[in-house]
Structure 1
Amino acid sequence: MTAAIKTHDSSHFALPVQVVNARVTYKNAPIHLLEKFTFKDVEAAHRAFVDKAGVDECVILQTCNRVEVFVAAKNADEAKVMGQWAEAAGLEKKDLASVEVSTGKEAVLHLMKLASGLDSLVVGENQILGQVRRAFEYSRANRYANANLAAIFDRALKVGSRVRTATGINKGNVSIASVAVNLADEYFDDLKTKRVMLIGSGEAASLVAKVLKNSGVDFMVTSRTYERARSFSETVAGKPVPFDTALNMLGQLDLIFVASTAPYFLITYERLQEAVKGRKDAVMIFDLSNPRTVDEKVATIHGVKLINMDQIAELVEKNMRSRMKEAHAAEKMIEGEMKSVDGMMKRMKAEPVVVSVFKSVDAIRERELKKALSMLGKKAGSDDNDAKVIEQLSYAIVEGILSTPMNYLRKEIEEGDMESEELMKIVAKMFKYEDEKKQQQQ
């Protein structure tokens, strides 16, 4: 099953467990295929990965541009993870060819870039950070994400926020609709008080409508058939107006967005010249159609400001170039964070051994303490002051002896290489840590 899966591996990253990320994104699958990979029941999907795929932790992220699964386990089986995804989403074996899989360091690095907006369709977009946070919080609240995934998701969310604060990666509008509405907002003193018309009912028009709606701007919408305008207003936004009525209102409008696929001019020079005759206030028109549906000659009419797609596209490209420059700074920040995460994961790897050593020695302390107190005719935990002093002394001796070597072990594991791994194994063997693990598993 995994033969067709694109895999990135990193076996030298010091994770106490194996982290696997399986994803299908806009990069390698069209939207209609992405929909096939989505989980209709997210709660059931989380539960199935934990119960049937043999993983300890799971986070599922679903957006319009991606479906991703993050899992953590001591011995994660990629084939089982993929098999469970196929079963939960009703996929066929051939569909798995679109899945990309990363493990270890590469999985963590992908999450860092994802939260920072470097893996988005629009570089630096803000929405993905909130989507990652909500997906993680859902898994943590329902106990599907524990110490291991919590550690890397917390770091990823922090670096994602820091990247946006310290760089300009999310500055400047990079969508045609956002740039157009932003220009209109800069042109008028108060856009919310203006009479706005949107001509069109397709994808481009819906993007403009969403930006206007999110900006709190009321607007009218029209299309060549009233039914389309009405349906558009119900599903997207805007107050529907019949097309002929809209054309007769041109002289009363302050701002017009035209985003249509009509093969002819919807706003002609003659019609607009007659409509604005005697008007004192300016009219702003955005022609977002391809091909253009506003006669370019209207720009010569006094009081009319026309902005076409080429002008907006130039601004979008400028903003995008600026974001790409900032992306390099973001990658440097992520690189530094990855070193920090590596150290953190190494500490987590050493911690069970350290805890085991303290437990092992403390058991000896407690045993010998009881012997000593018994010989003195005293009992541990009693109100006898001498017994209390001896007990505190036993704790202090253990702490004094173990703290320095155990802190040294932590530091060596965090900063060291394969030799440090061997050191940890020796310490574990000396204090029978392996035997203890086996007993717990029995």
Structure 2
Amino acid sequence: MSEINFDIINARVTFKNVPLHSLARFRFNDLKVACETFKKIPGVAECIIIQTASRVEIFTVSNLETGDTPDGRRVEGKGLVLNQIKETWESLSELEQIDIDHFDQTLEVYKGTDVYLNLLRLACGLESVVIGKEEILNEIKAALSHAKEINVSGDILNKLFENIIRIASRIRETTGISKNVISLGDVSVKIVDEKAGLDAKKRILLIGTGESAARVAKTLNKKGFAFDVTSKTIERSTGFSKILGGKPIAFEEVLAGFDKYDIVFVATTADYFLITFDRLKLVMEEKKKGTLILDLSDPRTVDEGITALPGIKLLFRDQIAEIYEENVKSRIGMIPAVEKIIEKEIPILEATMKHITA
């Protein structure tokens, strides 16, 4: 039996270089078709796609013992495969011209050992929106399971992902980075539930489409609460809703019908007051039931003057910050320990992958 020579490529677009509301355009509506299409690229023998609310990552293997296909170990071979990955990505997604024009700046590409390092960091929760969150490890497991089910992965990616899952699980357990993880969304929804009570009858509005809004949306989805989402433009709200749920509503429509909502989460990056007394005065003056507004924005985007309106109760981020920030600080303190273990594991993983035989 001889060792297999292969080249692994990881091409990814994440929340770190694309706004969440724009990430929807990079996603694949049919993962099965996407995996199968990437696998049809000449020279590509295996494919796994990790697609979550905050990232789209494609892993391909060029098996270099297939005869007439380009040798991916050579510069021209790698370049050809990568160019075809980009072209295939464009054909399968809903990218706009501006996305295509800037694709080279948006797309992160890793090869060889860097793929192992980045995938292990991801599985350990170091690359997540919420550090240490168990969710991404489960999503990696699901991606592997799906790839096996539709027969697009193979010996190489299966072995890589299985090893990554095993190592990451051990690192998480050893360091405790996954224990008692609380996101901003978890704390926000909990405090609102305590103050006003959350149930299926309450009308919930989420203003914003950034990372803080995403955390709130994830928690609302997890708890089964329907909500409307709005932003500066309806396009942003629509893009956000495609990956994080919620019913997209135009901001002007929200202001005109603000009295319909019982709970409002505001999580924007605007540098001015979005919600003011003057904007809400006419629509809210006849409202009989109360409205709880939690402004998670930094700086604040809800003017305290709205509390003069009947039934308005206003909470700010700093009222929940202590609980959330202590949790974040604790997990950030664990990162060096996680990275130290990862550093020791990568050479072992690299040696393991080199000894795959046909």
Q: Is the pair's TM-score, using the shorter chain for normalization, greater than 0.5?
A: yes
Q: Which one has the largest radius of gyration? A: 1
Residues in 1 aligned to 2:6 and 2:276: alpha-carbon distance in whole angstroms: 60
- Do the aligned residues in 1 keep the contact of 2:229 with 2:248 (CA within 8 Å)? yes
- Do the aligned residues in 2 keep the contact of 1:267 with 1:294 (CA within 8 Å)? no
Equivalent residue number for residue 100 of structure 1: 109
What's the offset of the Cα at 1:165? Answer: 4.2
Asked if 1:212 corresponds to 2:256, the answer is: no
Which of 70, 81, 85 is 1:84 aligned to?
A: 81
What's the offset of the Cα at 1:286? Answer: 1.0
Which of 202, 205, 216 is 1:198 aligned to?
A: 205
User: Structure 2: which amino acid aligns with 1:22?
Assistant: N
Equivalent residue number for residue 93 of structure 2: none
Which of 174, 177, 183 is 2:183 aligned to?
A: 174
Change (3 A) 1:155 1:192: same
What's the offset of the Cα at 1:187? Answer: 4.6
Equivalent residue number for residue 398 of structure 1: none
What's the offset of the Cα at 1:266? Answer: 4.3
Change (3 A) 1:150 1:200: closer
Equivalent residue number for residue 68 of structure 2: none
Residues in 1 aligned to 2:276 and 2:335: alpha-carbon distance in whole angstroms: 41
Query: Helix, strand or coil: the match of 1:172?
Result: coil
Equivalent residue number for residue 20 of structure 1: 8
Change (3 A) 1:187 1:159: farther
What's the offset of the Cα at 1:44? Answer: 1.5
Query: Helix, strand or coil: the match of 1:69?
Result: strand
- Do the aligned residues in 1 keep the contact of 2:255 with 2:279 (CA within 8 Å)? no
- Do the aligned residues in 2 keep the contact of 1:36 with 1:89 (CA within 8 Å)? no
Q: Which has the higher helix share?
A: 1
Normalising to structure 1: TM-score of the pair? 0.54
**CA distances 1:84-122 after superposition (whole Å, capped 9, x unpaired):** 33235327899556543331x433222211222223344
**CA distances 1:338-369 after superposition (whole Å, capped 9, x unpaired):** 465356457x46x78xxxxxxxxxxxxxxxxx
Change (3 A) 1:328 1:206: closer
1:339-378 → structure 2 map (5 Å cutoff): 340-341=348-349, 344-345=352-353, 348=355
Equivalent residue number for residue 57 of structure 2: 67
Which has the larger displacement, 64-73 or 115-124? Answer: 64-73
Change (3 A) 1:257 1:101: closer
Equivalent residue number for residue 117 of structure 1: 125
1:119-138 → structure 2 map (5 Å cutoff): 119-138=127-146
Query: Helix, strand or coil: the match of 1:100?
Result: strand
1:30-45 → structure 2 map (5 Å cutoff): 30=18, 41-45=34-38
1:381-396 → structure 2 map (5 Å cutoff): none
- Do the aligned residues in 2 keep the contact of 1:267 with 1:295 (CA within 8 Å)? no
Query: Helix, strand or coil: the match of 1:129?
Result: helix
Equivalent residue number for residue 327 of structure 1: 335
Identical aligned residues as a percent: 23
Change (3 A) 1:58 1:288: closer
1:274-293 → structure 2 map (5 Å cutoff): 284-289=292-297, 290-293=299-302
1:386-425 → structure 2 map (5 Å cutoff): none
- Do the aligned residues in 2 keep the contact of 1:200 with 1:259 (CA within 8 Å)? yes
- Do the aligned residues in 1 keep the contact of 2:258 with 2:280 (CA within 8 Å)? no
Q: Which has the higher contact order (CA 8 A, sep 6+)?
A: 2
- Do the aligned residues in 1 keep the contact of 2:47 with 2:147 (CA within 8 Å)? yes
Change (3 A) 1:73 1:178: same
Change (3 A) 1:79 1:128: farther
Change (3 A) 1:29 1:82: farther
Structure 2: 5+ residue runs without aligned partners?
Answer: 65-70, 91-99
- Do the aligned residues in 2 keep the contact of 1:198 with 1:257 (CA within 8 Å)? yes
Normalising to structure 2: TM-score of the pair? 0.64
**CA distances 1:240-261 after superposition (whole Å, capped 9, x unpaired):** 89756643x78xx5x4434576
What's the offset of the Cα at 1:220? Answer: 7.1
Residues in 2 aligned to 1:202 and 1:93: alpha-carbon distance in whole angstroms: 23
Query: Helix, strand or coil: the match of 1:118?
Result: coil
Residues in 2 aligned to 1:221 and 1:27: alpha-carbon distance in whole angstroms: 19
User: Structure 2: which amino acid aligns with 1:331?
Assistant: E
Structure 1: 5+ residue runs without aligned partners?
Answer: 1-14, 353-442
User: Structure 1: which amino acid aligns with 2:48?
Assistant: V
- Do the aligned residues in 2 keep the contact of 1:222 with 1:243 (CA within 8 Å)? no
CA RMSD of aligned residues (A): 5.1
Residues in 1 aligned to 2:153 and 2:238: alpha-carbon distance in whole angstroms: 42
User: Structure 2: which amino acid aligns with 1:80?
Assistant: G
User: Structure 1: which amino acid aligns with 2:57?
Assistant: V
Residues in 1 aligned to 2:338 and 2:347: alpha-carbon distance in whole angstroms: 15
Residues in 2 aligned to 1:214 and 1:69: alpha-carbon distance in whole angstroms: 28
Count residues in correspondence: 319
Query: Helix, strand or coil: the match of 1:120?
Result: coil
Equivalent residue number for residue 185 of structure 1: 193
